[in-house]
Amino acid sequence: MCSKAIEKDISACGLCGIINEEGFSIDGETVLRFISAMNERGNGLGAGFAGYGIYPEYRNYYALHLMYYHHRSRETVEQLIDENFEMEVSERIPTKRVISINNPPELWRYFLKPKNCPDMMGDELVVNFVTYVNAFVDGAFVMSSGKNMGVFKAVGSPKDVGEFYRIDEYEGYMWLAHTRFPTNTPGWWGGAHPFNLLDFSVVHNGELSSYGTNRRYVENFGYKCSLLTDSEVLVYLADLLTRRHKLPIHIAAFALAPPFWEQISQLPKKERELLKAIRLTYGSALANGPFTMILGFSGGMIGLSDRIKLRPLVAARKNSTLYLASEEAAIREICEKPEKIWRPVAGKPVICLLRRKLNVELYPARIHYQMEC
């Protein structure tokens, strides 16, 4: 089977995210129980995890996770790496034999620093590398490319995928997880969630009816949508709006799911003018259709649903930890007595940003809040 997706997919899935805003570690076993509580929302054709803070000893290196479907694709990619990066570590991603995980590709991780490139240009070099590999190197796929984080995904149930990647052996201050239910394309390893670019990772449930518009918009800025999935477009939008256009995360969220014009017209002048400017400037970034997404980045986590909330999202909080999930029962599986549990308003983001830097470059610190217009 070719390693590249050839059709756009529609998903009805389960997703979750957990973050400690003080930066304290959460073990992988916790997130594994979290997503496994929603096992029935998937059909065994895809599951995955994104962990942040899992490589503290290599926090200053880009951690690239790759899958290879044949040996010559690895040779091609490693030649590209040698031309563009200084390699600190090259090794197989540790895995465990699981009977239900059949015919896995070669799984490698690299810890890299850009070669002959100013620090401020390192991100662009990595983006160009990821784009080129995913679009043009047959049999190779970049799962993740951020610093001090990594994505682990496969075809299988959350429990089996977690066991295969030995997720319980990792610790991080934030985790995203996903169980997939593809409805019109075969499950394949690269098509599982999360989708990642640099430190941005997305897990997604639903369908973007605006996919064509969103795709054309990001491709105008040099991104290449080679995988033809909604989640790929969402992670590119997140990178474009926040890293390249330097929008605050809550402004980027409103660009993705702004209020309706009728709602905007009823707001006080200051808020009305701001949201009007966002809609006019970033109309092509608006994500339409039934969806819920959780976006993780090195500085925090955001949960967002469409403006009508046709896909579920539940939030909870206990002490300095925020939980997001498709189902309340999943949250209670790992947090028996949350201090607060609620269902976020349609189209209004729930955001939690870290309060301390953890030796990585972060966005300005902000305590957890639910955005209200």
Q: Which residues are catalytic?
A: 13
Element (H, E) at 276: helix 269-281
Cα–Cα distance between 106 and 334 in angstroms, integer? Answer: 33
End-to-end CA distance of the chain: 47
Q: Measure CA 43 to chain center.
A: 20
Cα–Cα distance between 227 and 235 in angstroms, integer? Answer: 12
Beta strands in the chain (DSSP E): 14-20, 26-27, 47-52, 62-68, 85-92, 106-114, 140-144, 149-154, 171-172, 174-179, 195-197, 200-206, 291-297, 300-305, 314-318, 321-325, 340-342, 350-353, 369-370
Beta strands in 93-221 (DSSP E): 106-114, 140-144, 149-154, 171-172, 174-179, 195-197, 200-206
Q: b/e for 38-56, b at 16 or more Cβ within 10 A?
A: bbebbbbbbbbbbbbbbbe
| 235 φ/ψ angles, rounded to the nearest 5 degrees | -70, -35
User: Distances in Å between the alpha carbon of 140 and those of 96, 132, 135, 155, 260?
Assistant: 21, 10, 9, 16, 41
Beta bridge partners of 268: none
CA-based radius of gyration for the chain: 19
Q: Measure CA 233 to chain center.
A: 11
